[in-house]
């Protein structure tokens, strides 16, 4: 029984990371594309744009990091595995 | 494989166990603090090489704070600059063989985020008074009070998890690659880690600035910009 929980934990950790990465990846792609567009139109505001872009990317990336942390909790700090 | 959430005691100081991240943190504090103390003993009007470097760092941090907050950076320079330099040094400490970034353990990040959380409240109360600061939770209407309270907590938590997740995953991936491939193969990944570490240090500092700026903003006129600094960048 204990073994089954571990198997399910590993599978769910892989699922959490893989599906959790889809959304942030698409979002980051859109954000960078929009920033590139804006820099191409207004190269003089590249400094402000890239600073805002970095902070925004960090925000988006947090979603993927949450999934990673959940996966780690499931793998290493699982309350159902002794 | 060792869990990234567990740290083992390096040695005991009386009844208190001291872990490796804590010892590394003390080392970083000693190097940064001692370095700043020694470097600022003999300041001259015409700076030498070291002083010019220090002045560049301070001026850059000042410019970033001024750009983000639209306010005079003087009250926030020590906190924001200290956070940025500490996180940057902590992320890059893995350049020294045998040391692991203390930010790869969640306790260090939690401590840093708690400092930011306390500073947000502190600066907010200082700028608006206790009642004035508490009133900002009821903006735009009183219905938003629970959401605003939750926001304070979740954004602090996301500060912790963002820094922890990024740095720890880098350390973890290098550990896995090392166990698979060995010599020279992890070097590109280590280079990527240095980039991630710098970006995360910058983001941590900018987010701290944004949070404090949001707590103190309104009611203050924007500080005049120094054109010379703008042209430099």
Instruction: Write out the two tokens for A18.
Output: 């893989």
Tens-place pLDDT, residues B147-204:
888 988 988 988 898 899 889 888 888 888 888 887 888 888 889 899 889 988 998 9
Query: What pLDDT does residue A82 have?
Result: 65
Query: What pLDDT does residue A26 have?
Result: 95
Given a cut of 60, whether residue B219 has pLDDT beyond it is: no
Given a cut of 90, whether residue A24 has pLDDT beyond it is: yes
Measured between beta carbons, the chain A residues lying within 8 angstroms of B3 are 72, 75-77
3-class secondary-structure state, position B106: helix
Number of Cβ atoms within 10 Å of the Cβ of B96: 10
Tens-place pLDDT, residues B51-62:
888 899 999 999
Nearest to B165 among A51, A55, A68 (CB): A68
Question: How confident is residue B222, by pLDDT bands cut at 50, 70 and 90?
Answer: very low
How long a stretch of residues is chain B?
A: 233
**Residues 6 or more apart from B12 whose CB is under 8 A from it?**
B18
The DSSP call for residue B46 is S
Q: Which of B162, B164, B173, B209 has the highest number of chain A CBs within 10 A, making it the mutation to test binding with A?
A: B162
Environment class of residue B88 by beta-carbon count within 10 Å: exposed (0-12), middle (13-18) or buried (19+)?
buried
Question: What are the residue ranges spanned by the domains of chain B?
Answer: 9-220
Chain B 169-228, residues with CB within 8 Å of chain A CB atoms? 169, 199-200, 202-203, 206-207, 210
Nearest to A55 among B5, B165, B207 (CB): B207
Phi-psi region of B47 (alpha: psi -120 to 50; beta: other; left: phi over 0): beta
Is A65's Cβ below 8 Å from some Cβ in B?
A: yes
Given a cut of 70, whether residue A2 has pLDDT beyond it is: no
3-class secondary-structure state, position B19: strand
Instruction: Write out the two tokens for A43.
Output: 């190269």
Instruction: Write out the two tokens for B70.
Output: 């639209």
The residue of chain A nearest to residue B203, with distances taken between CA atoms, is: A55
CA A31 to chain centre: 14
Pair type for strands B9-13 and B16-19? antiparallel
CA B125 to chain centre: 22
Chain A 20-49, residues with CB within 8 Å of chain B CB atoms? 47-48
Question: How confident is residue B118, by pLDDT bands cut at 50, 70 and 90?
Answer: very high
CA B155 to chain centre: 15
**Residues 6 or more apart from B96 whose CB is under 8 A from it?**
none
Query: Residues B28-46: what's their mean pLDDT?
Result: 87
Environment class of residue B108 by beta-carbon count within 10 Å: exposed (0-12), middle (13-18) or buried (19+)?
buried
Cα separations in angstroms, B74 against B30, B34, B79, B178: 24, 22, 10, 45
Query: What pLDDT does residue B46 have?
Result: 80
Query: What pLDDT does residue B47 have?
Result: 78
3-class secondary-structure state, position B11: strand
How long a stretch of residues is chain A?
A: 82
Say what the alpha-carbon torsion angle B71, B156, B17, B13 is, to the nearest 10 degrees.
20
Go through the domains of chain A in sequence order and give each one's CATH number.
12-75 (1.20.20.10)
CA distance B100 to chain A (A): 19
Using CA of residue A60, residue B124, residue B66, residue B114, what is the dihedral sign? Answer: negative
Contact A27/A74 with Cβ under 8 angstroms? no
Measured between beta carbons, the chain B residues lying within 8 angstroms of A62 are 158, 161-162
Contact B186/B79 with Cβ under 8 angstroms? no
Summarize chain B as % helix, strand, coil (round to 5).
75, 5, 20
Tell me whether residues B3 and A54 touch, CB distance under 8 A: no
Strand partners, B19: B9
Query: What pLDDT does residue B1 have?
Result: 58
The DSSP call for residue B221 is P
Is B156's Cβ below 8 Å from some Cβ in A?
A: no
């Amino acid at each position: 029984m204990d073994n089954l929980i571990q198997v399910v934990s590993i599978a769910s950790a892989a699922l959490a990371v893989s599906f959790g990465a889809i959304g942030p990846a698409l979002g980051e792609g859109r954000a960078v594309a929009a920033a590139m567009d804006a820099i191409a139109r207004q190269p003089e505001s590249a400094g402000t744009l890239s600073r805002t872009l970095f902070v925004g990317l960090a925000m988006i990336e947090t979603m993927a990091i949450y999934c990673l942390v959940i996966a780690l909790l499931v793998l290493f700090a699982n309350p159902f595995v002794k | 494989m060792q869990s990234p959430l567990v740290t083992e005691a390096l040695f005991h100081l009386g009844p208190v166990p001291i872990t490796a991240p804590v010892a590394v943190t003390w080392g970083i504090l000693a190097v940064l603090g001692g370095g700043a103390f020694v470097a600022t003993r003999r300041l001259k009007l015409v700076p030498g090489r070291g002083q010019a470097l220090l002045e560049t760092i301070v001026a850059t941090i000042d410019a970033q704070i001024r750009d983000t907050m639209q306010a005079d950076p003087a009250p926030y320079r020590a906190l924001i600059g200290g956070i940025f330099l500490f996180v940057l040094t902590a992320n890059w400490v893995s350049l020294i063989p045998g040391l692991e970034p203390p930010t790869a353990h969640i306790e260090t990040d939690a401590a840093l985020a708690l400092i930011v959380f306390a500073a947000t409240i502190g600066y907010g109360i200082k700028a608006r008074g206790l009642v004035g600061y508490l009133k900002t939770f009821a903006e735009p209407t009183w219905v938003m009070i629970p959401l605003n309270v939750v926001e304070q907590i979740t954004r602090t938590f996301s500060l912790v998890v963002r820094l922890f997740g990024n740095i720890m995953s880098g350390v973890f991936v290098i550990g896995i690659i090392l166990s698979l491939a060995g010599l020279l193969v992890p070097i590109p990944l280590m280079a990527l880690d240095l980039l991630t570490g710098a970006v995360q240090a910058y983001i941590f500092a900018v987010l701290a600035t944004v949070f404090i700026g949001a707590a103190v903003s309104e009611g203050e006129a924007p500080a005049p910009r120094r054109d010379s600094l703008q042209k430099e960048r």
